[in-house]
Structure 1
């Protein structure tokens, strides 16, 4: 399918248990409906105190993720909400955000630079993008971020709109080991989600409403 002009939005197919939280409208309502309401029920073998502490931890973590993403130009936050065996939700998320490229620099030139610096060129949504994978140590001054995380970033030029880009930034703590088979499997899940990325020209949608 050939694209005429710049797309209005994008789409992704999510696996069961993942939800999209818009960051430019109805964020609070979406968090309550899609995330927080689902953690109200505590398994019978979990004490009330532990259940309350867990719900508070999830609420604080997701609210901070949403606020940080919004301040960084985020369009949408994606998080898993279905608990794994044992009662815990998968520690993973990704953010789709807008970015502005260098004025006068063609997308293929900038992609080439990014690939040489820290990534690889991949086809995503009928366009060429750059994928970068790395491990990040906890940030100092954030007591809750005490786990090493594995990250994957995609940088995609918006077709037909030179100088406009989308970034898709994923992170996961996995099982606490950034190189374990489980953590790598979670990362592969994100890459599988990205393989479904598509641009859309739906006129009724706002710019990159997702």
Structure 2
């Protein structure tokens, strides 16, 4: 039986491990070998085993990436569903409160209030809760849908801009109106002024 001598020279760049593992399946490797007898067969088996291991690692990495994407997508859907349920719940609570407070409001007026409040939330880039909290502040027997929403709009804008609750925003606007003997139609001007001052201070 003759002696085996195998010399293998490989030049590999390992600076980007993940890219190399993903590319191993299609990579051509140049090998210089001096071999006698069964050495080539043994070397071929070793290289095949390395290739199989690389394929397994590559498949595992792909599986991990795919699983993470699936988890991220499920978490996103879960959060969106929870937000939607919360918005519907907030809106229904507000409608119930308005219906109890304003016994003379018809079903069609309640529906109109619901639709207009959703539009206001979208137009002002505010949450449904911010809008419903604002218009329920102004719900009483002497108000109509349009007057409630007109009064709620400055409150919603100030709340969205300042981060204050709807209640705090309404109190701030009302306090300034009372302090300077301003009429209610100045609410929007007051909200704009407070918002401007707050952004300049920041």
What TM-score, normalized to structure 1? 0.30
Kindly indicate which of the two structures has a greater share of residues assigned to strand.
1
Q: Which has more radius of gyration?
A: 2
Between 1 and 2, higher relative CO (CA 8 Å, sep ≥ 6) is seen in: 1
Kindly indicate which of the two structures has a greater share of residues assigned to helix.
2
